[in-house]
Structure 1
Amino acid sequence: MISPVKLWRNQGKIAALVGKTGAIISWTIIRVPPTEFMDQAPYPVVVVAFDDGEKMMAQLVDWQPEHLRAAQRVIAVVRRTTKPNSEGIIPYGIKVKPIW
């Protein structure tokens, strides 16, 4: 479990990423995920090069098969990452979605 202190410290990192745009440079489809992500499978994980030069790996959301291509423009968004934990805390994190 992530402690409330870690959640508090990470919120600045998340806020700095929200709304950043970039392009997909690589991707894969996760068909057999870890247990906590079973309800999301299959799902794409992409490597994104943001316009400011930063790169990150993230799950692609709100996508269609034609969005899985190099140079597809994406934007960073906040989404639920897994199911709520035993304490009822809903974990959120950065994912990316295509820009049409």
Structure 2
Amino acid sequence: MKRLDSKIGWLGCLLAVFLFGSVEMMAQPANDDCDGTVTVTALSADSTVFSASGDGTGATDGLGAGAAHVWEAFTIEECATIYISFCNSENPPSNVFISVTD
């Protein structure tokens, strides 16, 4: 479990990087590029859990980072502590990069 303390008004753009032994040639997921980021429902102080799903199948390495990637994003409405967990994931990613912007 990773801990990320946040401040009011920032946008978290989660870049989940999934390393594959071989990337199958098939349609890429819509969130294969940051321009196609899947936005999760805005979080509020009353929110305790939100989830994003998908396994990155068909994702490509559009950034040249050496690994396939997909993007998820969320916005918080006030100061919060955010925990990111891959519990209950059948095949959790071996590398995860997190970009926090305001």
Ranked by relative contact order (alpha carbons within 8 Å, sequence separation 6 or more), the top structure is 2
Greater helix fraction, Structure 1 or Structure 2: 1
Q: Report TM bin, short chain.
A: under 0.3
TM-score normalized with structure 2 length:
0.24
Greater strand fraction, Structure 1 or Structure 2: 1
